[in-house]
Amino acid sequence: MSSPYGKARGSAAKPSSKRKPSDNVVEVDADAAPEEKPVAGEKLQKVLARTGIGSRREMERWIESGRVAVNGKPARLGDRVEDRDRITVDGRPLDRAPAQETRCILYHKPTGEVSSRKDPQGRRTVFERLPKLKAGRWISIGRLDYNTSGLLLFTTDGELANTLMHPSANIEREYMVRVMGEWDEEMLKRLLEGVMLEDGVARFTDIQDGGGDGINHWFYVVIMEGRNREVRRLWESQGLTVSRLKRVRYGDVFIPSKVKQGQWVELEPKELKSLYRMADMELKNQKRGTHKEREKMERQFTKRKGPGAAKSRRRPR
């Protein structure tokens, strides 16, 4: 049985007796799909998520509830935006980061700083010592409590931060912890198998003895979640008190010994690549800070330590 389109194509391709040999004949395939034009802009919820104010799904709910406007008009789910479009959330202009660039830094948090942008009690926040950005804003990948020091990552890619912080990410977080009290191997076994806390079962995936004298002992522990005060609560469930706590690793990123408390450093390209790999996201172009930013941080650090710090750095004659 012949195709109904075969006869039509055959008749269309039959040359006319009046056509000159030099004439070009263009055949059109009736079965071919029309060529799709590229869609301009990005999905609005993706742009919103990249600023770090929430996940894509959460941004979809914000759009549906009328909290987002584009160029002065209420946004709708499915809207796409370009760089020239003006986006507001709850009436406030949105500070957008470049779509194809990212910047990530490692900050060595000291104790006595909160991980939020503002503190009602007026305490210092971790954001105060970070370099200023011309576009976008810093988003912390996780948090550390007031009395915990160590590695804290910041990025300008909110979607990366949200993905890494999601419970399904299962990223190793390693801490150096000093506990006070009596312990034994059975206790460590319980902490590895899992104990019931007020918000569910929690456990360490690894415990390594770090040594110590008397009632104070050091351990290196690994958890796969980022629940509030999880490391402290696990030890407290066994009757021990945590007297020191420092995060030393997040995934494949370790805190360098050269980075002192209160200082930050740009992530190396391989470290940035590992973060995007853990998030199962396409790697973006890395934007790095300037030499002036680094010099400013060094000056602030020296000023905080006092005049004696500057003298100690001078080479002896």
Q: How far is Cα of residue 276 from the mean position of the Cα atoms in its chain? A: 9
Of residues 85, 90, 145, 184, which has the active-site annotation?
145
Instruction: Answer yes or no: are the C-beta atoms of 160 and 265 closer than 8 Å.
Output: no
User: In terms of C-beta distances under 8 Å and separation of at least 24 residues, what long-range contacts does 111-115 make, across chains too?
Assistant: 111/146, 111/147, 111/148, 111/149, 112/146, 112/147, 113/146, 114/146, 115/140, 115/143, 115/144, 115/145, 115/152
Angle, helix 269-278 to helix 158-165, in steps of 10 degrees? 60
Answer positive or negative: Cα dihedral of 82, 84, 86, 89: positive
87-89 and 92-93 as β-strands: parallel, antiparallel, unpaired?
antiparallel
Q: What is the DSSP string of 246-314?
A: EEEEETTEE--TTS-TT-EEEPPHHHHHHHHHHTT-PPPEEP---HHHHHHHHHHHHHHH-HHHHHHTS
Is residue 213 among the annotated active site residues? no
Instruction: Answer yes or no: are the C-beta atoms of 117 and 158 closer than 8 Å.
Output: no
Closest CA to 81 of 160, 89, 53: 89
285 to each of 71, 102, 157, 250, 288, how far by Cα in Å?
A: 29, 6, 11, 21, 10
* Residue 41, amino acid: G
Residues taking part in catalysis: 145
